[in-house]
C-alpha cells in the first residue's frame, strides 16, 4: 500500500481504500522487522515459531490520513491537500477486517521488541520512497499497473 499511495499522492491520483478503510493492520518499521528476523535466526530455538509484530495496530484509513499528512508536508503542500484523493472502493470478498499479531513469545523468550518509534519509522519510509523515485516508478508501472486495473477498475 505505501509505495502505491505515496506515488499517487505525489501525482494527484486516487487513493483506493477498501470498504470504509476500517481494516486493522499491525505496523512495524522494516529495520525492526529485519532485526527481529536476525534475532530469531541467532537466538531462536530450532523448530519454534515466532510471530513478529510491532504492537502497533492502525485502521487503514488512519494510516492513509497520516500518510497524506506526511507526504503533503514533505512536498510543501498545505495540510490536507491530498485528502480529496481518498476513493472508497468495494472491499474484496472475504477480506480480513483485522490481522492480529501476538509477538509476546518473541519478547519474553528472546527479548526482542521494536526499537524505532512508529512516527519516526513512518517518516523514514516516506523519505526513502520519495528519494528513490526510479524504484518507485518500477513498482507503480508495467505489470503492477495491470494488477492495479484488475483490482480497482469497475469498483
| Tally of domains in the chain | 1
Distance CA 14, CA 84 (A): 8
Q: For the whole model, what pTM was predicted?
A: 0.84
The upper half-sphere exposure of residue 18, i.e. CA atoms within 13 Å in the direction of its Cβ, equals 16
Share of the chain above pLDDT 90, in %: 77
Distance CA 19, CA 52 (A): 27
145 or 52, greater pLDDT:
52
Residue 8 pLDDT exceeds 90: yes
- pLDDT tens digit string along 27-80? 999 999 999 999 999 999 999 999 999 999 999 999 999 999 999 999 999 999
| Average pLDDT rounded to a whole number, residues 130-155 | 79
- φ and ψ at 23, to 5 degrees? -65, 135
Paired with 17 in beta bridges are 88
Q: Is the dihedral of CA 89, 95, 98, 100 positive or negative?
A: negative
So what's the pLDDT on residue 155? 74
So what's the pLDDT on residue 142? 67
Could you tell me the residue range of the domain that residue 34 belongs to?
Answer: 2-152
Cβ–Cβ < 8 Å for 32, 115: yes
- φ and ψ at 15, to 5 degrees? -110, 95
Residue 144 pLDDT exceeds 80: no
CATH classification of the domain holding 90: 3.40.50.720
Amino acid at each position: 500500500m505505501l509505495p502505491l499511495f505515496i506515488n499517487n499522492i505525489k501525482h494527484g491520483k486516487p487513493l483506493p481504500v477498501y470498504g470504509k478503510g476500517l481494516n486493522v493492520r499491525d505496523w512495524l518499521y522494516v529495520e525492526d522487522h529485519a532485526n527481529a528476523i536476525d534475532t530469531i535466526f541467532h537466538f531462536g530455538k530450532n523448530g519454534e515459531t515466532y510471530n513478529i509484530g510491532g504492537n502497533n495496530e492502525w485502521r487503514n484509513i488512519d494510516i492513509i490520513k497520516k500518510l497524506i499528512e506526511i507526504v503533503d508536508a514533505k512536498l510543501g503542500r498545505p495540510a490536507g491537500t491530498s485528502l480529496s484523493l481518498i476513493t472508497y472502493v468495494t472491499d474484496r470478498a472475504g477480506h480480513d477486517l483485522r490481522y492480529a499479531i501476538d509477538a509476546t513469545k518473541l519478547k519474553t523468550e528472546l527479548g526482542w521488541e521494536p526499537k524505532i518509534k512508529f512516527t519516526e519509522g513512518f517518516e523514514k519510509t516516506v523519505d526513502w520512497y520519495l528519494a528513490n523515485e526510479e524504484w518507485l516508478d518500477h513498482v507503480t508501472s508495467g505489470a503492477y499497473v495491470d494488477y492495479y486495473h484488475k483490482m480497482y477498475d469497475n469498483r
